[in-house]
Homo-oligomer: A and B are copies of this chain.
């Protein structure tokens, strides 16, 4: 099992144990931040968006990972019995998108306007849907067959309609919603960017989306996080 603290640019005080934080709290510090522990396979999968959000927001957390083959043994000790799970002061929060939205709220990655926030939700839901469909195929097909299914089935059915609407929505905006980086931009960078492994030219007809993906990848905290990531199968 791997367990390591994510490196952050937070002042050391906030990385100390919670009782130490409380003892030393002053008006200069935000309200005591909960202790976060994210538990997932040693994979990107359904946890990586949460990790990107924590990285973007410089939010300290324990990134606890285990190998796939250890899951049956590990499962009984995991609160809620499913992963990803985020422990917030030891209380389990389940469901990858609920965790990501909560983290995004802490990282100021959600628009204040409720309709703009909803547009981000919809976009993240669609990226998750695409990711789910892609991986359900990746896990059962060999590389050649997967390339075929990606091109002939997934692209026309799911990916083209999504990229087309995204390109239209973006127009010449720098970010997708509210003129600010949101968790929807991070989800696009992660999921749409990741799809290029199945078709290197995927974004050639979507210059706005391609530029958005590059912009997300170039965010300093995201770049730093990705640069230090180990090689992972998914």
Q: Which of B88, B95, B105 contacts A125 (CB 8 A)?
A: B95
Contact flag A93-B115 (CB < 8 Å), given A122-B98, A125-B98: yes
In the complex, chain B residues whose CB is within 8 Å of the CB of A161: 81-82
Q: Are B121 and A98 in contact (CB under 8 A)?
A: yes
CA–CA, A93 and B14, complex, Å: 39
Is A94 an interface residue when CB atoms closer than 8 A count as contact? yes
For A123-136 the 0/1 string (1 means CB < 8 A from B) is 00110000000000
Q: Are A126 and B95 in contact (CB under 8 A)?
A: yes
CA–CA, A34 and B114, complex, Å: 12
Q: Are B97 and A125 in contact (CB under 8 A)?
A: yes
Q: Are B126 and A114 in contact (CB under 8 A)?
A: no
Is A106 an interface residue when CB atoms closer than 8 A count as contact? yes
* This protein's copies in its complex: 2
CA–CA, A105 and B118, complex, Å: 10
In the complex, chain B residues whose CB is within 8 Å of the CB of A126: 94-95
- CB nearest neighbor in B for A126: B95
Q: Which of A80-101 contact B (CB under 8 A)?
A: 80-82, 88, 93-95, 97-99, 101
Q: Which of B81, B82, B88, B95 contacts A121 (CB 8 A)?
A: B95
In the complex, chain B residues whose CB is within 8 Å of the CB of A97: 121, 125
Task: Report 20 cross-chain contacts, Cβ distance below 8 Å, ordered by A residue.
Answer: A34-B115, A80-B165, A81-B161, A88-B115, A93-B118, A93-B119, A93-B122, A95-B121, A95-B122, A97-B121, A98-B118, A98-B119, A99-B118, A99-B122, A101-B121, A102-B115, A102-B117, A102-B118, A105-B118, A106-B114
Instruction: Taking A95-B121, A98-B118, A102-B114 as given, write out 7 further A-B residue pairs in contact, using a Cβ cutoff of 8 Å, ordered by the A residue number.
Output: A34-B115, A81-B161, A93-B122, A97-B121, A98-B121, A99-B118, A102-B115
Kindly list the 8 A-B residue pairs having the minimum CB-CB distance in the complex, ordered from nearest.
A102-B118, A98-B122, A98-B121, A95-B122, A95-B125, A94-B122, A105-B114, A98-B118
Mark A residues whose CB is within 8 Å of B: 34, 80-82, 88, 93-95, 97-99, 101-102, 105-106, 114-115, 117-119, 121-122, 125-126, 161, 165
